[in-house]
Structure formats: C-alpha cells, structure tokens
Amino acid sequence: MNQAASEFLRMLPFLVAAWLFVVGLYGIVTSRHLVHLIMCLVVVQTSTYLLLLGVGYKIGAAAPIFADIPVGTPAVDPVTHALMLTDIVVEATVMALLLALAIQAEERAGSVDPEQLRIMRG
Amino acid sequence: MNHFLPASPVAVPLSIAALLAAVNQHIPRRLADALAMAASLWSVIACLWLLMKSSHGLMVYWMGGWAPRNGAAIGISFTIDPLGAGAAAFASFLVFVALVFSAHYFDSVGTIFHVLMLAFLGAMCGFSLTGDIFNLFVFFELMSAAAFALCGYKTEESGPIQGALNFAVTNTIGAFMALSGIGLLYGRTGALNMAQIGKSLGQTHDGLVVAAFVMITCGFLVKAALVPFHFWLADAHAVAPTPVCVLFSGIMVELGLYAVARVYWTMFHGALAQFEAQTRAIFVSLGVLTAIVGALMSFAQRHIKRLLAYSTISHTGLMLVAFAMLAHGALAGLALYVLGHGLLKGALFLSAGILLHHLGSIDELNLRGKGREAIRASGLMLFLALGLSGVPPYGTFLGEALIDSAAEKLHYSWISYIFMFAGIVTAAAVLRVAGRIYFGWGQDLDRSQQDEGETDEGRETSGGQEVPATMFVPTLVLLLLGLGISFIPGLRVKTQAAAMEFMDQGAYQQQVLEHAAPPAYVPPAQESLLPGIIRGIVSTLLALVLAGLVLLPHRLRRGIEGFSGGVSFVLRPLRILHSGHMGDYVAWLTAGVAAIGGLFAYFIH
C-alpha cells in the first residue's frame, strides 16, 4: 500500500466520525418526529464510537486478547474499547429514557412533532 | 477508615438508592424518607471531612490501590481538593434540604423519587471529587440521566415531558461533544488521568489540543447554560418539581462551570498559558452576553419558577466572567458566589414551592393581591430578593467583592457594572413579584398577554391551609445560611488558599503522579470590603427603584411610557428567539460551538 492510501485509511474513521456528528445534528434540527429525532441523537453517538475505536486502532495489530498471542505482539488499544462499551451502556440508559418520554409526549400532548410541542416558549 | 471515606460520598448514596429501588413500595414512605436523608447527611459529613483533610494538600485516592508507578498513572483516582470537596458537600447539603422539603410531596408513588435523588447526589459527588477525565464524563452522564428523569417526574402533565425532552436532548449532545474531546485527548496523550494528560500536553497547543479544549469546554458549558446553550434551563426549571429546581439551580448548573475550571487548570493551563488574554476575552464576552440576556428574560417572565430560572442563567453568566479572570482572587470569589447564590436561589425556589402548595399557583399575575395569606406562606421572598443584588451581608456580596478586586488588577474593572446590572434587574424582578403578590401593586392580569406559552403549573402536593414546618424551616435555614456565611471567620482567606491550590498545575501533577509534598499557599493580604459594600447598597436601592417603577399605578406610569416601550421593544424579539422548539435549541448550540471554536482557532493560529 502506498503512503497516501495508508494515510487516507488512517484518517478515514475520523472523517466519518465528523460526518456522522454533523449529519446527526442536522437530523435533530430538522426532525418532525420525536422517535426520528432520538435516532438522530443515536447517530451523533455512533460518531463517538468511531472516534474512540479509531483512536485505539493500529494497522496490522492483533486483537488485545493476550491468552494465545506471543508476548510483544502489537495489539490495538483495549482501553478505548472499554471506553466505548461504557459509552454504550450509559447512553443506552439515556436513550431508553428519551424514548419513554416520547411515548409520554404522545399520550399527554397528543403529538410527537417538536413543532407541536412548544408550550415552553418565551 | 481512610480507604472508605473518600469514596463514600458516592458509594453510600448509590447503595441506598439501589436498596430503595429493590424494596420499592414495600417499605413505608417515612422509612424511605429517613434512609434517603441519612444517606445525604452522611455525604455532607464525609465531604466536610474531606474538605478539612485536603486543605493541607491534595488527597489522592486510587481505586483498588492502583497507584502510579514511575510517574505513570494507570488506575482511576479521586483527586480531592478543598474546592471539589466543598462543591460535593454543598451538593449533598442541598439534596438533604430538598429531601426534607419534599416530605409532603408525591404521596402516591413508591421510592422512585428518592432513588433518583440519591443517584443524582452520588453522581454529583463523584463528579466533584474525581481526578480522571473519563470518570468525569461517566459521572456527568449519570448526573444528567438522573436529572432528566427528575425533571420529567410529573409524567401526568404535558409540560414536564416537553421540558425534560428539551433538557435531555441538548445536554446529551453536550455530553457527546465532551466525550469526543476526551477521545481526542486520549489519542494524543494515551492517558485519562487529568494530571497525566496535563503533564503530557505540556506547552503544546496545536490544532488537536485546541479542538479538544473547545469540545470539552463547550460540552460542559451546555450544562452550565451559557448563552447560546441556555435554552433548556428555563424549560427544565419551569416544569421540574420544586425541590429538584433547588438542585438544578443551586449546584448542578454550577458544576458544569466547575468542570470547565477543573479541566482548564489540570490539563490545558500549560498549553494555553501564552493565550491567557485571548481566552479571557472570549469567556468574558460569553459571560457578559449571558448575564444580560438572562437578566432581561428574567424580567419578562410571569411564571415565577421560569423567572428564577432565567435569573440563574444571568448569574451563571457572572460566574463565567469570574472564571474568565483566570486569577486566584476571582476564583475564590467565584466559589463564594456559587455558595451564596445557591443558598439564596434554593430558598427562592422553595418559597415558590410553598406558594404552589398553599395557593395552587405560581403565576405572578394570577396571584396578584393574595396579600396576607401569601406573606405568611412565603414572605421570606422579600429578603431573598435583596440578596440577589449583592447587598451585604449576603454571601453573594462577599464573592462579588473578591471578583471585583481581582478584575481591577487585570484592567477589567468595568465588569463590576455588569455584576450590578444583572444583580439589579434579577433582584427587581423578584421584588416586583413580591410587591404584586403581597400588596396587590401594579397592573391587574392583562388578557392580551395570554399567548405567551406556559404561565402556570399544577399543584405538586395535596395542598393545605397550613404551611408545614418541613417546608418553612428549610427555606428559613437556607436564608440564614445565605446571610451567615459572610461572618464565618477566615472564610475569605481559606477560600483564597484553596483557589491557589486549585490553580497550581505543577503541584497538582507532582502530588498526583509522584507523591510529592504539597506546597504551602499564603494568600495575599485581604483588601478592604468598603467599595463592595457601597456597590451592594447602591445596587439594592436601584433594584427597589426599578421594581417600584414597574409597579406604579397606571396613571402615574405616563411619564415612563417611553421607557417601558423601549424595554418591550428589546424584549419582544428576544422572547421570540426562545421558541420552545428543540430543533432551534440544537441549531443555536451548534452555532455557539462553531463560534467559540472559530474564535479560539483564529486567536491561537
């Protein structure tokens, strides 16, 4: 693989992460349905997964399971995986809570369109 | 004991929360109350003990004994200093007060409310004490999740659902931004311990470091509700149960700012040292804008809790200005200001809660002229309003005096006028409410103002003719403490020493990574408080005048019609911007981050 291509591959996860963050925000800003809006928030969140994994990844390195690889083999950074898993767990809670609120919004206010849910203005 | 105490402000509330969640509805309500209060009281005591211990140098507590070897930290630490321990102690105290106040609340449900309050408390304590940046993020999210649920607690109404959604979506985006910044920092330094990151970064200030700084700072500033990230705050406060508002305004919002200060001085201070003037200018402008917008919006409200919420936004703007001085005098002033403001604002929200309990409304215009009944319920509001303008001897005054004298040395003495402006307008708004409710002054309900969104909220209690002691006493205690902290001997000196310790990045690194002995901090000689006293009194008089002008009877108002016309000319577009639409809020948030990031990128490259 030539230099430019490998540099591009190295940058790719970060470029995609930035794209996901921005496109998720765009979805939230323009959303007309709470469930869609919350899924856009999940898209923003996936950007953080990709960023963390990209940070820990090394091209050509093994998985960080040290039981059956020789000592000294380069491995990808397991810490970022732990961070990402924690991120998933924490945010699963938040997303569940948000979806529960969306159900309540439909029941109490009769709408899941942010345009209609504006009694908090001024 | 030394192995249990540092983690106990987090461990005890979370364990009790788990226990209460497990036995939900199978234990008597009073027992759940008692257990929750005991857990929060334990946190108060433990944090005060940590505060005393850490005033002689940092307390570093490594989870599972994973202490650093050869100056490299792998484990997760609680790095406790007096300001962090003080924030945790104050949070625990406010939770205790809120639990006492809510003894008459929510009779129908089981222990869910207690569980959420204790999880919130554990997260706030962990957030204040931790020395690990990822740990900080996790506690931030736990704190947020508990806060979202508490905010939308009254699920039978539509308002709380909408308020909680706005709160949750904006704050979660903030958390993702902070996490991305943390990821970038980890990629650069391979470390998560804040001391270690600061050491690895050293003086480097390339694009990646600046991007990480902006993302982490903006993420936490969303929680601190700075303009233009502030929209969620008023919505959340207007709908959250009153005891929860005490925590939101009194400490949660301030913790956002605490995190900004913490990451700045542990990680980025060295890297951004040569750009101090630019950093100061950016944060001062943001703070001044917030203080002004918050004060104006506060004055425009008739929903009392919403009014108080905008007043909090205004005051966090002032707090950011104080942080932006990047000087130990101002940081000490900031700490005292947070304490004084939290006590007063907590008591003000409790007063609003008593009004709602007693009279079933918190709409200023609906309550007009309720007279003696209302005074008996919440007459303390009059005294609390004066505190907002910073009149001595309220705690806010002491903080303001320290901030002013630090700002003067940095040629920023004009910010004292911003403090006065925000103090006058927010105090006058509360005084106006008091005058209208207690004495029936001012105009009657104007039906043309009906289309302004949420103005009132439903009862949270079963109501009653008597104000129970569990509601009145906490309010009074907060007021007395708000007055009393100025008289604690040596408080100013000790806070200044604590602020110096907080800001000493080199000593922080050496103590965390190399077990070095702490240096001794000798605060400079204390300056005279006289200019502060004069300013406080002038502000209070002006607040009284402003409130009086608004409450003038119609026929006397002719002379100031031009003035009030001008005010509504400014306020109208400002209120339209606060559209209640979540998409708008997120668009503002994005624009704010882009603007702040752009400014930093422009100045540093």
- The pLDDT of residue B554 is 64
pLDDT mean over A5-23:
92
- The pLDDT of residue B357 is 85
Residues of B within 8 A of A119 (CB-CB) are 158-159, 162, 453-454, 580
Structure tokens belonging to residue B37? 């209060």
B 280-319: CB under 8 A from A: 300-301
How sure is the predictor about B451, in pLDDT bands with cuts at 50, 70 and 90? very low
Q: What percent of chain B has a predicted confidence (pLDDT) above 70?
A: 93
B257 and B301 inside one domain = yes
* B371 in a structural domain: yes
B117 and B161 inside one domain = no
- The pLDDT of residue B467 is 78
Residues of B within 8 A of A28 (CB-CB) are 169, 173, 582-583, 586
pTM of the complete model = 0.94
* B414 in a structural domain: yes
| Residue closest to B157 by CA, chosen among B234, B232, B239 | B239
Query: Which residue type occupies B463?
Result: G
pLDDT mean over B394-419:
92
Give CA angle at B146 (B140, B150), nearest 5°. Answer: 140
Residues of A within 8 A of B235 (CB-CB) are 120
On the question of pLDDT at B463 being above 50, the answer is yes
Separation in Å, CA B33 to CA A36, B39, B472, B587: 39, 10, 18, 42
* Residue B356 to residue B363: CA distance in whole angstroms: 9
Structure tokens belonging to residue B468? 């129970």
> A23 at the B interface (CB within 8 A)?
no
On the question of pLDDT at B25 being above 70, the answer is yes
* B426 in a structural domain: yes
- The pLDDT of residue B604 is 85
CB–CB of A94 and B234 under 8 A? no
B78 and B144 inside one domain = no
Query: Residues B225-269: pLDDT tens digits?
Result: 998 999 999 999 989 999 999 999 999 999 999 999 999 999 999
pLDDT mean over B276-282:
94
- Which H/E stretch holds residue B436? helix B415-439
- The pLDDT of residue B3 is 74
Residues of B within 8 A of A108 (CB-CB) are 155-158, 161
Most A-contacting residue of B176, B184, B568 (CB-CB within 10 A), to test interface: B176
Query: Residues B195-214: pLDDT tens digits?
Result: 999 999 989 888 999 999 99
pLDDT mean over B15-35:
90
Per the listing, tokens 């990480």 go with B212
On the question of pLDDT at B443 being above 90, the answer is no
What is the phi-psi region of residue A113: left when phi exceeds 0, alpha when psi lies from -120 to 50, beta otherwise? Answer: beta
- The pLDDT of residue B24 is 81
Domain span at B544: 132-446+462-500+538-603
Query: Residues A24-68: pLDDT tens digits?
Result: 999 999 999 999 999 999 999 999 999 999 999 888 888 888 787
Most B-contacting residue of A25, A33, A88, A121 (CB-CB within 10 A), to test interface: A121
Query: Residues B503-536: pLDDT tens digits?
Result: 999 999 999 998 888 898 988 888 888 888 999 9
In Å, how far is A69's CA from the nearest CA of chain B? 23
Number of neighbouring beta carbons within 10 Å of residue B523 = 17
pLDDT mean over B167-175:
96
Mean pLDDT, all residues of chain B? 89
Higher pLDDT, A15 or B5: A15
CB–CB of A94 and B239 under 8 A? no
Residue B194, burial from CB neighbour count under 10 angstroms (0-12, 13-18, 19+):
buried
Give CA angle at B230 (B532, B158), nearest 5°. Answer: 125
CB–CB of B141 and A101 under 8 A? no
* B522 in a structural domain: no
B137 and B50 inside one domain = no
Q: Closest residue of A to B182, CA-based?
A: A52
Question: Parallel, antiparallel, or unpaired: how do β-strands B77-80 and B59-62 relate?
Answer: antiparallel
CB–CB of B578 and A122 under 8 A? yes
B487 and B349 inside one domain = yes
Most A-contacting residue of B112, B169, B229 (CB-CB within 10 A), to test interface: B169
CATH architecture of A2-109: Orthogonal Bundle (1.10)
Residue B509, burial from CB neighbour count under 10 angstroms (0-12, 13-18, 19+):
buried
On the question of pLDDT at B582 being above 70, the answer is yes
Higher pLDDT, B109 or B194: B194
Mean pLDDT, all residues of chain A? 90
B77 and B169 inside one domain = no
- The pLDDT of residue A61 is 85
CB B131 within 8 A of CB B208: no
How sure is the predictor about B69, in pLDDT bands with cuts at 50, 70 and 90? confident
Higher pLDDT, B454 or B223: B223
Strand, coil or helix: B77:
strand
> B449 at the A interface (CB within 8 A)?
no
On the question of pLDDT at B371 being above 80, the answer is no
On the question of pLDDT at B87 being above 60, the answer is yes
CB–CB of A119 and B144 under 8 A? no
* Residue B6 to residue B301: CA distance in whole angstroms: 43
Q: What percent of chain B has a predicted confidence (pLDDT) above 90?
A: 62
Among A79, A90, A120, whose Cβ lies nearest the Cβ of B454?
A120
> A84 at the B interface (CB within 8 A)?
no
Contacts of B115 (CB under 8 A, 6+ apart): B17, B20, B21, B24
B290 and B364 inside one domain = yes
Among A29, A79, A109, whose Cβ lies nearest the Cβ of B586?
A29
The residue among B103, B131, B159 that closes a domain is B131
What stretches of chain A adopt beta strand conformation (E)?
none
B106 and B150 inside one domain = no
Number of domains, chain B: 2
User: What's the gap between Cα B69 and its chain centre?
Assistant: 37
* Residue B221 to residue B585: CA distance in whole angstroms: 14
B124 and B141 inside one domain = no
B34 and B142 inside one domain = no
Most B-contacting residue of A37, A83, A101 (CB-CB within 10 A), to test interface: A101
- Which H/E stretch holds residue B308? helix B304-324
| Residue closest to B325 by CA, chosen among B316, B333, B337, B314 | B333
B217 and B70 inside one domain = no
- The pLDDT of residue A6 is 85
B112 and B257 inside one domain = no
* Inter-chain Cβ pairs, chain A and chain B, closer than 8 A: 143
How sure is the predictor about B564, in pLDDT bands with cuts at 50, 70 and 90? low
- The pLDDT of residue B284 is 97
